[in-house]
Structure 1
């Protein structure tokens, strides 16, 4: 290490699980980290709501700011770590102030990057500051670095993966124990894998934040979180898990992004981004991802399929990713946060999924009376949907004599399935809305 080079001076905003994890990691691995960074990494100031709370780490050596934005104004801070959270409010104000002051920003805040990443990248380009957010996607897995640097020579064809550990834990517990959704969610909350309010996780929003970031990096696009079609896992039942297993699949919440060639003479590419539960073939790499684990697959035109897998959350993995970004900044390894200079990021059209072809699992809950099956198959026929297989199972008497009817379609256009379901909308034969789960293509 060059002892003549002054330390990289760090302001840390947020002293929760992640912020304290950064302090512990820097203390535990300091010699190794500084040897790899080529200089000292020194926290000089911190900020949190409560100064007096015991967090199990020694804060006595750090200046304390009750207003986190003040970290951006300190002369003894070169880079700010934003670990406070929230897509707007104080976190966004701190991010803008830090980059506006020409100081580096490292954040784990996926919501902020998904919603405001473009404006922050523009601010960073104007001031010449570095913006890094490896920890915002998949915790300690270096997937952003892998896409931005390791696969930089490739045209990326598709990015997809398991991006939320809470959902993956719930689905794999349902798979291994036969529990229904509500019971598996309650267990995840008891073990700390799910929040008291798990809505962002189970409704797919958290995974969508991450997918929007990955798509921007992989395809050179402007971040478009509002363009992500989102379906969560709340409607997946134990019966669906069982049916999938009988058909040779498991169910996983999967985010998928791919890019069409320019359409309609616009000269712009069309981007499709979706988060939804999928049936995953048992021989697919994602089928073996269990518990609160994340896994991301990127397919490049020369490198082929790349798989990134590991812990997607937690103090240790997230702190690891934050400190890896700090090491890059200490070395002077800066570059565009989204792979391309912000002025070259493309405003991509949103692709129409209707013409995409694929296979689907469709589950109907219907009344147990004659003619129901004929009604459903007639709608499929009229919409041009070909049925590959069909399973019908009765439910307990206390369910009111309902029947679960599940089918797998042959490959065909997505719009045909949508048309078939539109034909069945309002039918008294259906006791609840059908559930459509696509089969993940290899």
Structure 2
């Protein structure tokens, strides 16, 4: 029998993911040793309350409230506390002590990633974070390693399971947003405060991480354009269906070419978008995630699977642990991040796509002509138009226009929508949805 070296593993946090990581490290120690080439000894679990009820029964002697003492002397530190502090301080302490770090903390990486990666480079340690985006789906390592020699042109995908669950049920069942959100909270898909999910903030953090890896440049969270799904109602779902689309909250990371005197740039954005019903992303149901990658040589690739869940996320964490252990055995410094470029990040106004604009208008002669004129003057060309009557409580006659456009620049579309809202014939701009995947 081979006499393997023992590596000390510290775990920070024992929530739904952390407790599963601890269980798997203990239960599969022999298998993991064979794969890693080292014995992975879980030396402790730092928590706020050592006596708290947990999903998994774990040896009580492993628990401690002293994270700093646990970190010192460990070879690998797994951070699953979440949030910014004290997670940031603990990770920096771990790196300074020479440990490799495994984390699933998307919020921390999206806001302080550059600082953390620089700290790792200074001491030759590594930071791995496969679990930070799409849980068990292996997407970050392929971007970082497998596609490092290719030229990724665009990434777009569903990276938040809560919003996909909500929009999917609204599409397939005709359910109301508030009703489905309540069900999602009851099932544990959504938090008691669902703001981070439904307003797109969670997806924006993941988009920043994906773009940084795909385009080898640091993308700060504040550069990500973010819109949520709280304005999507049953009418928007039905209008999308009639036009052959499904609505998904998409994270889109795209290279924009140099044109019209503007330099090449990166666009990173999150918003509810229309996807053709025969596109692979349209078939992603429930709380699942999927990321669609377009690369110059590899072509289109799609990564699909569970985007959340304790044991699923633990799978990604343990994959990173085994890789870190192998590096320790092989020796040498950790492989640094490739996000060292300085490509400019474009404002949302620079993107070009097609749109579906839904307007409530006064039902009288000349309205269509006025709307068409405003769109034409704004450089937005009509591709399709559907008009239906709208019931009102005030006895006034109203109509609803659902306008599909040809490709237009976001800046032009935004200015034109403002003109429509102020035109006197438009009672309300109901929704403006972009089309992706074409």
- TM above 0.5, yes or no, is yes
Alpha-carbon offset, residue 352 of structure 1: 4.3
User: What is the aligned partner in structure 2 of residue 172 from structure 1?
Assistant: 168
Question: Is this contact kept in 2: 1:270–1:349, CA < 8 A?
Answer: yes
TM-score in terms of structure 1 length: 0.92
Question: Using a 3 Å threshold, how does the CA distance of structure 1 residues 381 and 264 change in structure 2: closer, same or farther?
Answer: closer
User: What is the aligned partner in structure 2 of residue 92 from structure 1?
Assistant: 88
User: What is the aligned partner in structure 1 of residue 323 from structure 2?
Assistant: 328
Question: Using a 3 Å threshold, how does the CA distance of structure 1 residues 423 and 65 change in structure 2: closer, same or farther?
Answer: same
- The SS at the match of 1:350 is coil
Counterparts of 1:272-311 in structure 2 under 5 Å? 272-311=267-306
Name whichever of 24-33 and 311-320 sits farther off.
Answer: 24-33
User: What is the aligned partner in structure 1 of residue 5 from structure 2?
Assistant: 5
Alpha-carbon offset, residue 182 of structure 1: 1.5
Q: Does 2:350 correspond to 1:351?
A: no
Counterparts of 1:142-157 in structure 2 under 5 Å? 142-157=138-153
Question: Is this contact kept in 2: 1:358–1:441, CA < 8 A?
Answer: no
User: What is the aligned partner in structure 2 of residue 127 from structure 1?
Assistant: 123
- The SS at the match of 1:102 is coil
Q: Does 2:417 correspond to 1:421?
A: yes
1:113 aligned residue (104, 109, 114): 109
- The SS at the match of 2:211 is helix
Question: Is this contact kept in 2: 1:363–1:404, CA < 8 A?
Answer: yes
Write the deviation string for residues 330-361 of structure 1: whole angstroms up to 9, x where unpaired.
Answer: 111774453x2x6xx01221224445432111
Alpha-carbon offset, residue 388 of structure 1: 1.0
Q: Could you tell me how far apart the structure 2 residues matched to 1:50 and 1:400 are?
A: 62
User: What is the aligned partner in structure 2 of residue 45 from structure 1?
Assistant: 44
Alpha-carbon offset, residue 211 of structure 1: 0.8
User: What is the aligned partner in structure 2 of residue 211 from structure 1?
Assistant: 207
User: What is the aligned partner in structure 1 of residue 255 from structure 2?
Assistant: 259
Question: Is this contact kept in 2: 1:159–1:299, CA < 8 A?
Answer: yes
Q: Could you tell me how far apart the structure 1 residues matched to 2:30 and 2:388 are?
A: 62
Write the deviation string for residues 311-334 of structure 1: whole angstroms up to 9, x where unpaired.
Answer: 011101110110000000111177
Q: Does 2:217 correspond to 1:221?
A: yes
Name whichever of 392-401 and 246-255 sits farther off.
Answer: 392-401
Q: Could you tell me how far apart the structure 1 residues matched to 2:23 and 2:168 are?
A: 32
Alpha-carbon offset, residue 264 of structure 1: 9.5
Question: Using a 3 Å threshold, how does the CA distance of structure 1 residues 181 and 40 change in structure 2: closer, same or farther?
Answer: same
User: What is the aligned partner in structure 2 of residue 20 from structure 1?
Assistant: 19
User: What is the aligned partner in structure 2 of residue 436 from structure 1?
Assistant: 432
Question: Using a 3 Å threshold, how does the CA distance of structure 1 residues 152 and 11 change in structure 2: closer, same or farther?
Answer: same
Question: Is this contact kept in 2: 1:47–1:64, CA < 8 A?
Answer: yes
Write the deviation string for residues 271-294 of structure 1: whole angstroms up to 9, x where unpaired.
Answer: 110111111011211010111011
Question: Using a 3 Å threshold, how does the CA distance of structure 1 residues 234 and 404 change in structure 2: closer, same or farther?
Answer: farther
Question: Is this contact kept in 2: 1:10–1:80, CA < 8 A?
Answer: yes
Alpha-carbon offset, residue 232 of structure 1: 0.7
Question: Is this contact kept in 1: 2:292–2:303, CA < 8 A?
Answer: yes
Q: Could you tell me how far apart the structure 2 residues matched to 1:61 and 1:53 are?
A: 11
User: What is the aligned partner in structure 1 of residue 79 from structure 2?
Assistant: 82
Counterparts of 1:385-424 in structure 2 under 5 Å? 385-398=380-393, 403-424=399-420
Q: Could you tell me how far apart the structure 1 residues matched to 2:356 and 2:326 are?
A: 50
Gap regions ≥5 residues in structure 1: none
- The SS at the match of 1:351 is coil
Question: Is this contact kept in 1: 2:4–2:37, CA < 8 A?
Answer: no
Question: Using a 3 Å threshold, how does the CA distance of structure 1 residues 261 and 420 change in structure 2: closer, same or farther?
Answer: closer
- The SS at the match of 1:41 is strand
CA RMSD, 1 decimal: 2.3
Question: Is this contact kept in 1: 2:76–2:99, CA < 8 A?
Answer: yes
Q: Could you tell me how far apart the structure 2 residues matched to 1:260 and 1:133 are?
A: 27
Q: Could you tell me how far apart the structure 2 residues matched to 1:307 and 1:21 are?
A: 27
Question: Is this contact kept in 2: 1:133–1:322, CA < 8 A?
Answer: yes
Question: Is this contact kept in 2: 1:69–1:93, CA < 8 A?
Answer: no
Alpha-carbon offset, residue 90 of structure 1: 0.7
Gap regions ≥5 residues in structure 2: none
